[in-house]
Amino acid sequence: MLSVEEALEKVLALVATLGCETVALRDARGRVMAAPAQAQLTQPPFSASAMDGYWIAAADHRPGARLRVEGEAAAGRSYQGPLAPGQAVRIFTGAPVPGPDGVVVLQEHVIREDDTITLAQDLESHGNIRPEGQDFKRGDSFHPKRPLSARDLGLLASMNVSELSVYRRPEVAVIATGDELVMPGETPGPDQIICSNSFIVTALAESAGARVRLLPIARDDRESLRAVFDLAKGADLVVTSGGASVGAHDLVGEVAGELGLERAFWKIAMRPGKPLMAGKMGDAAMLGLPGNPVSATVCAELFLRPMLAKLQGLDPAPRIEPAELATDVAPTGARTHYMRATLSPGDPLPRVTPFAAQDSALLGVLATADCLLIRPKDDVARRAGARVNILRLD
């Protein structure tokens, strides 16, 4: 059976980075920039006061000095007049300073009487001035290789960048399959359960930047599967869940094949997630997740997330981190085991404790887990304290 690493290589080969589009800054959160942005101005564009107080020439900055207040500078309104030695300007935070070689003395550090100020005996060494260009200069370039954060948008706004070239958002069609499934809010029949996988996959894909087409549940028959696959047309990626195994009602692979699926693989050496299927259906990539909710989730974390990253021009490598085992663990079998686990603080590494219950239907355990503990296939028993790898869950 294919290893997880080989399978990841194959699913990534099914997708190519999407084209670009221009979006307004207001709509750019979470998008990935396709080209660097250049600062349209220098920031601050002028040397500005960092405090409310009095601007004075550096030569007048002496304990007990007495100066005459000539005028005022506020944010958006600079002081225009000439200034002679011994003269001060009332200044507020953000205002352009009236000249070079000056300092701003905090208003708390002067005594003011009419138009005269007297400086305190203990003077700060700090000039309280933000020099022109301290933050960035016109023409400086900014190109974070990550989904844009609130802070990135703040920087781009202050660079006066109002539109950005970003990668197109991947369009993902999500299909749950199974006669036993009904949607949340419906009343299940005696043999039915509620569909959870579509909500896991949709949320995960949207959080990874995709636009999701949540399609109706396909029943375990050819006509229904064909009809729902038809609704997926035009998507960049079609993600099914269920019907991937070897049972008489597991028809996803068969029907997808009839509809032109060129299968890249089916079944991998992974626990949970063995029956994972992937391939190409026309221009779209297809990822057939197993039906067990934990299997679907683990496969989505390990394969769907990297595919969405590559589609948006991001590094697709899963963020695997080291940790230390908090308990002894048993040997593994022929599949890499992604155990649901919790993390606790540790020094230098966080400590990881797998749950005793690892059945791939347990959504309660999955929701409480912080991470997946990655146990290599055919691994020996490990003692508490051993160094292991983990993949954090959101």
Ligand X SMILES: Nc1nc2c(c(=O)[nH]1)N[C@H]1C(S)=C(S)[C@@H](COP(=O)(O)OP(=O)(O)OC[C@H]3O[C@@H](n4cnc5c(N)ncnc54)[C@H](O)[C@@H]3O)O[C@H]1N2
Contacts with ligand MOO, residue ranges (CB under 6 A) = 271-274, 290, 292, 295, 360
Instruction: Report how far residue 43's alpha carbon sits from residue 131's, in angstroms, rounded to the nearest whole number.
Output: 9
Rank residues 170 and 272 by Cβ distance to ligand MOO and give the closer one: 272
Closest CA to 34 of 25, 45, 21: 21
**Minimum distance, C-beta of residue 310 to ligand X, in the bound complex (Å):** 25
Q: Are 360 and 294 in contact (CB under 8 A)?
A: yes
**Minimum distance, C-beta of residue 1 to ligand X, in the bound complex (Å):** 11
**Minimum distance, C-beta of residue 217 to ligand MOO, in the bound complex (Å):** 20
DSSP calls for 206-269: HHTT-EEEEPPPBPSSHHHHHHHHHHTTT-SEEEEES--SSSTT--HHHHHHHTT-EEEEE-BS
Rank residues 292 and 312 by Cβ distance to ligand MOO and give the closer one: 292
| Among ligand X, ligand MOO, none, partner that 170 touches (CB below 5 to 8 angstroms by kind) | none
Rank residues 169 and 271 by Cβ distance to ligand MOO and give the closer one: 271
| Environment class of 24 (CB within 10 Å of its CB; exposed 0-12, middle 13-18, buried 19+) | exposed
Rank residues 295 and 353 by Cβ distance to ligand MOO and give the closer one: 295
Residue whose Cβ sits closest to ligand X = 291
**Minimum distance, C-beta of residue 20 to ligand MOO, in the bound complex (Å):** 37
DSSP state, residue 152 = H
**Minimum distance, C-beta of residue 242 to ligand X, in the bound complex (Å):** 3
**Minimum distance, C-beta of residue 192 to ligand X, in the bound complex (Å):** 9
Rank residues 251 and 296 by Cβ distance to ligand MOO and give the closer one: 296
| Among ligand X, ligand MOO, none, partner that 250 touches (CB below 5 to 8 angstroms by kind) | ligand X
Rank residues 271 and 375 by Cβ distance to ligand MOO and give the closer one: 271
Closest CA to 217 of 251, 242, 189, 187: 242
Rank residues 73 and 371 by Cβ distance to ligand MOO and give the closer one: 371
Calculate the alpha carbon distances from 163 to 3, 20, 153, 312, 313 in Å. Answer: 43, 13, 11, 18, 19
Q: Are 122 and 63 in contact (CB under 8 A)?
A: yes
DSSP state, residue 107 = G
- Binding footprint of ligand X on the chain (CB under 6 A): 176, 178, 180-181, 193, 195-198, 241-247, 250, 272, 274-275, 290-293, 295, 360
| Among ligand X, ligand MOO, none, partner that 197 touches (CB below 5 to 8 angstroms by kind) | ligand X
**Minimum distance, C-beta of residue 273 to ligand X, in the bound complex (Å):** 7
Cα distance between the two ends of the chain: 29
| Among ligand X, ligand MOO, none, partner that 297 touches (CB below 5 to 8 angstroms by kind) | none
Residues 6+ apart with CB under 8 A from 179: 219, 220, 249
